Amino acid sequence: MAGKPDVYTRVTETIVEALEAGVKPWHKPWNAEHAAGKITRPLRGTGEAYQGINVLMLWSEAFDKGYSAPIWMTFRQAKELNATVRKGEKGTMVVYANKLTVKETNDETGEDEERKIPFMKAYTVFNVEQIDGLPEHFYASAEGPKIEASERLSIAEAFITATGADIQHGGNRAFYTLDQDRIRLPHFEFFEDPQSYYSTAIHELTHWTRHPSRLDRDLGRKKWGDEGYAMEELVAELGSAFLCADLGITPETREDHAAYIDNWLRVLKQDKRAIFNAAAHAQRAADYLHDLQSEPPVAKPEPSASQAPEPAAQEQSGQLLFSLE
């Protein structure tokens, strides 16, 4: 009897299944039906945003099930609020990283030494739409927009400017060149809409963070189309999705959508940890670009209720938990 697939396999299979159906699970995972906001990362019951691979998992589940609420909590957290998960509801897996401490004898000294072994562990959360009896604000319908579309784009403009990146305009291609440390974009007016321009710029800014003077990200890219290229493009894709969610921008669907999906599938099927590494790199890039801002571009949500803490371990986020070697 085969054992239960490990966390890496289960997460990778979920992402691969969506990509094989032609759907990017991080594309348009939002709606305007909840007071928590039109475009947002998934939130814990405390109002804290999830990070890294968990963003992809919860976006994908919300998109698949049609949940309008971006808030998730564990069975125990719901119970502590005198609420109950409805019978028959299936939870969604999220993960966190922890370390197992083991004692080993040093062959040279004969002394016992402690060694920490990193591992990934899963737990289950439920969308608030699967839970009855929560305080009313968890189910609140959307209020009127607090920020006009033009103001949202102003926020994106300020975000990009604050990075100090060298961005030049012209031609009909968008790209980042590492040797010149420069981003090239078509002129604004040649894009279909403002959202397409800003999401493309943010995608290239994510590439910009790979420079040796910044995050020094080297995923083994040697030439166009190789596995390192596919991984770097996946990092930029995820980083752009995270940042677009933070800034209230709808990500662009690229013209070469199908080709990129094929490249990503090849990488993900060969390495079950690839999506974890890509999400971790993307989170680091997003955090780096946020840190360049003089002021946060969007307000952090206030905790909505006192909640029992989730497992006391580090979620996959800006810290790289696994090497690509």
C-beta separation of 281 from 217 below 8 A: yes
For residue range 96-115, list pLDDT tens digits in order: 888 788 788 777 777 888 87
pLDDT, position 63: 78
Q: Is the predicted pLDDT of residue 207 greater than 70, yes or no?
A: yes
Does residue 296 fall inside a structural domain? no
Residue 187 has pLDDT above 60, yes or no: yes
Residue 85 has pLDDT above 60, yes or no: yes
- Residue of higher predicted confidence among 198 and 257: 198
pLDDT at residue 37 in the model: 54
Tell whether 1 is covered by a domain. Answer: no
Residue 77 confidence (pLDDT) above 50: yes
Residue 171 Cα to chain centre, angstroms: 31
Residue 325 has pLDDT above 50, yes or no: no
Q: What is the distance between the alpha carbons of residues 325 and 228, in angstroms, rounded to a whole number?
A: 12
301, part of any domain = no
- Whole-model pTM: value is 0.75
Q: Tell me, what's the pLDDT at 258? A: 66
Query: For residues 72 and 299, what is the distance between their CA atoms, to the nearest angstrom?
Result: 20
Is 102 in a helix, a strand, or coil?
Answer: strand
For residues 47 and 39, the model is more confident at: 47
Question: What backbone phi and psi angles, to 5 degrees, belong to 43?
Answer: -120, 145
Q: Write the pLDDT tens digit of every residue in 277-314.
A: 999 999 999 999 999 998 654 444 433 433 444 554 45
Q: Is residue 275 part of a domain?
A: yes
Count structural domains, the chain: 1
Q: Is residue 44 domain-resident?
A: yes
Which residues span the domain enclosing 285? 7-291
Q: pLDDT grade, residue 30 (50/70/90)?
A: very low
Task: Give residue-wise pLDDT tens across range 119-176.
Answer: 788 999 999 999 999 998 888 765 555 556 676 789 999 999 999 999 999 888 899 9
Poorest-confidence range of 9-18, 203-212, 282-291? Answer: 9-18
| Cross-sheet strand order for the sheet of 43-44 | 43-44, 71-73, 112-127, 92-105
84 has a pLDDT exceeding 80: yes
Domain assignment present for residue 323? The answer is no
pLDDT value, residue 5: 66
The band of 320, judged by pLDDT with boundaries at 50, 70 and 90, is very low
Residue of 62 and 123 predicted with greater confidence: 123
CB count within 10 Å of CB 69 equals: 23
pLDDT in tens, 215-269: 999 998 776 667 888 999 999 999 998 999 888 887 766 655 567 788 888 899 9
pLDDT tens digits for range 47-57? 888 999 999 89
Q: Output Rg (C-alpha) for the chain, integer angstroms.
A: 21
What angle, 0 to 180 degrees and rounded to 10, lies between the N-to-C axes of helices 274-291 and 257-270?
A: 120
Residues 6+ apart with CB under 8 A from 243: 159, 202, 205, 206, 286, 289
Q: How much is the pLDDT for 322?
A: 30
> Between 23 and 91, whose confidence is greater?
91
Residue 48 belongs to some domain of the structure: yes
Distance CA 170, CA 158 (A): 21
Residue 192 has pLDDT above 70, yes or no: yes
Does 40 map to a domain? yes
pLDDT computed for residue 36 by the predictor: 55
What confidence category does residue 29 fall into, taking pLDDT thresholds of 50, 70 and 90? Answer: very low
- Supply the pLDDT for residue 306: 38
Q: Residue 185: pLDDT band by 50, 70, 90 thresholds?
A: very high
